[in-house]
Chain A
Amino acid sequence: MPLLEVKNLRKVYTTRLGGTGVEALKNVSFAVEAGEFVAIMGESGSGKTTLLNILAALDRPSGGRVLLNGEDMAGVRERDLTAFRRDNLGFVFQDFNLLDAFTVRDNIFLPLVLAGKAYEEMDRRLQPLAKALGIGDLLNKFPYELSGGQKQRTAVARALITRPAILLADEPTGALDSKASNSLLQNFEALNDQGQTILMVTHSVTAASHAKRTLFLRDGMIYHQLYRGQRTREEMFAEISNTLTVMTAESGEKSHA
């Protein structure tokens, strides 16, 4: 049984005036096995954020199903959703979303405090995580004292401290320079090697080339997918670039036709 299964997912945004609405996702199906590192790519407006929001249970689909560990997320009651999300999913955002009022440590603790965990337990979980992400020395600082890369690694630690089944990331390198991006992606690969399942939306070919598999989304549908297999990162980079070029060319033709 795959860890995450998406079946015929549809999402229609209806406008407030009751117009025709936008079909952001048309018919999306794919599965993610435990331990995978999947990147999702696609043009702006192709529905990536929409997909991720549905997977994150931040938004409800208009049709289709999302199964996590075989359990249908539609079956989770609204009031249990927050707890469900907290216990099963970890999130990383493009703009970090750290709280200024908390130290790095407290930012990372936040989900556990909300879950009512004891301090000793929180601390026990924090130590290895902070070491793995290289933020052990920063724990007492405040977010405004950190660089972008350090902020994002803090956000990753916050996402992982609940030991989620899947780490969801929406353009995690979007606000970082190439050096900080690289070190974050290496962190992701290392975490993945330890068995963490990761699903990442990205615009960056470099970022996608770190993943084990890349899904391409176009006009609300899966257009194509690439497995990295035994290929090197450079080969993967070239392959992804090619696919993107073809995809853009096709959609260019389509819009001209």
Chain B
Amino acid sequence: MRKFGFYPKLAARSLRLNGKFYLPYLLSGVVSAAMLYDILFLNMNRGVYAMKGANAVQGLLGFGALVVAIFSFALICYTNGFLMKRRQKELGLYNILGMEKRHMARLLLWETVYSALICILGGILVGILLSKLFLLLLCLVIQADVVFGFEVPAEALAYTAAAFGAIFLLNYLLNLLRLNRVKPIELLKGTESGEREPRTKWVLAALGLITMGAGYFLSIAVSDPLQAMMLFFIAVLLVIVGTYCLFTAGSIALLKALRKNKKYYYQTRHFTAISGMLHRMKRNAAGLATICILSTMVLITVSTTVCLYMGVNDILDQMYCRDVQTYVNHGAPEDLPKVKALYERKAAELGMEMKDFAALCFYAPATAYANNRTRIDPYLAQANGSDVVGDPNDGPMRVYVGCNLPADADASLFAASVEVGTRDLDLSSNWCFTDDCRAGRTDFWASLGGFFFIGLFLGALFLMAAVLIVYYKQISEGYEDARSFVIMQQVGMRSAEVKSSIRSQISLVFFLPLLAAACHTAGAFPMTRRILLLFGLSNTGLFVLCSGLTLLIFALVYYGIYRLTAREYYRIVRR
């Protein structure tokens, strides 16, 4: 049966022939599959289960896995759509040469099978190779002991394979839909066919302005941290919608307005740039908006998580002032001697020596964050022998008792017996809690370390996606523009002019998303700062520094990508 092997062979051949397009696609598929496997691996790893503070980390990893899966789906759909568009001409030719649509469906099926196999197997292989590294990184970041041994959880394998199998199946179905919709003549024309000039969509532009404005307004206006946390995702959604609308409608409106100005438009420099951008904006605005949003996501995720991680000591000093501590919120001065006596009794019972003993009543603002713990040292410094410090106008009275213990003493035992003891003390408030701060610190390191890890992990994923989209954009535009530039030279454009025109065109299109992303990050700043307060991080200077550094590093990476893809673009154009 000759026919049986025909489509698999043809599919393999066309994958090879379109290597320039398929390679990045497959590579990003492999990388995202590897990332999914690794995050699942960490989530299911028995060593991680056994770690201190594992609960928080596990939850974060589970959330991360979900994000990676959904994101991989979006990414593969996007690139697949791009590839299909590029290949329409080839498929149209097959069609005219007598390949029916059901045969093409079979060809596409084999291509999908190959791509899926490469991505899943390659991804799992790379994932397994990298898993140990990620595990070490995670341990390092959450300051846990290194987990030894090597495992390959079957569940992680199965989930990864299932998720990517589903993604590719869905993509195949999408391709079939595409195939059914198009007529052969259109297939043959493919990307080359003249695209209708985009209309100016005023409604969309207005909608974009409104949603974007609303998002920024939320960020600036919401002052309560808890509310900020809840409204954050709404603001994000608004800004995403606004970005898409403004990039698609706003850019076209602007370019058309520029074209109306004949004096401006009919100048060598502006003439080709404006018409070229207008021509491709319809298709590319969405790509630019996507790049912008991905960049914003990278910037915000990385800057906040890095900031939290850098500020962790700050937060810990605030939350956990001593090894063991007791707060009575909304307490009264007569509670203080009771708790003090309890500490002394327990210390004697357990035979532990208390150090840096501190006991104080103080007035402080009630806060929703850091679980209402407040840095005690400044109040202690003011105490000057008296038991009550602060201004009643500042907020409710709190009673604080805390002490450090010798390094070999069991702080959790001490804290537990104090905790039990406070229940019989008949205090003036029920809101009394005792911390084992040593355990608290470890837990906190674990969860912030988890945040940090996930932040960097997802940041890397988003960055990869942005790179991929940028690459495809440049390549496809290069092929489109190559012909135009040949023609321009024929009708009298100097090659220096060609070069500068290309440069101005790409750099504008390239740096527009970066600029918008920086703008979004700045706009989100008030809101993210308030959310960080919830975690007890009040060091705005540190956050500004982290955001600035992240932006700087990101801009450098972005510039690197720009240089690389621009070179690829030149190569294509100057063929």
Contacts and interface: CB of A to CB of B under 8 A. Distances in A.
A100 B263 CA distance: 22
B493 A114 contact: yes
Interface string B318-345: 0000000000000000000000000000
29 contacts: A79-B494, A82-B489, A82-B495, A83-B492, A85-B492, A86-B492, A91-B490, A97-B487, A98-B487, A99-B487, A99-B488, A100-B194, A101-B276, A101-B278, A101-B279, A101-B484, A102-B275, A106-B275, A109-B266, A110-B491, A114-B268, A114-B488, A115-B492, A116-B267, A119-B262, A122-B266, A144-B193, A145-B194, A162-B492
Interface in B275-292: 275-276, 278-280
A143 B271 CA distance: 17
Most B-side CB within 10 Å, residue of A93, A109, A114: A114
A218 B279 CA distance: 44
B317 interface: no
A222 to B, nearest CB: 26
B564 to A, nearest CB: 26
Interface in B469-522: 484, 486-495, 497
Interface string A33-73: 00000000000000000000000001000000000000000
Given A99-B487, A100-B194, A82 B493 contact: yes
A172 interface: no
B353 interface: no
Interface residues of A, number: 31
Most B-side CB within 10 Å, residue of A109, A111, A113, A143: A113
Interface of B: 193-195, 197, 262-263, 266-268, 271, 275-276, 278-280, 484, 486-495, 497
Nearest to B480: A100
Interface of A: 58, 79, 82-83, 85-86, 91, 93, 97-102, 106, 109-111, 113-116, 118-119, 122, 142-145, 158, 162
Contact of A114 (B195, B280, B497): B497
A142 B491 contact: no
A93 B486 CA distance: 12
B197 A142 contact: yes
A23 B347 CA distance: 106
Contacts of B280: 101
Given A101-B276, A101-B279, A111 B491 contact: yes
A162 B492 CA distance: 10
A110 B262 CA distance: 14
Most B-side CB within 10 Å, residue of A79, A102, A115, A116: A102
Nearest to A86: B492
Contacts of A86: 491-492
A100 B481 CA distance: 10
A83 B493 CA distance: 8
A94 to B, nearest CB: 13
Given A82-B493, A101-B275, A142-B194, A110 B266 contact: no
Nearest to A96: B487
A91 B278 CA distance: 27
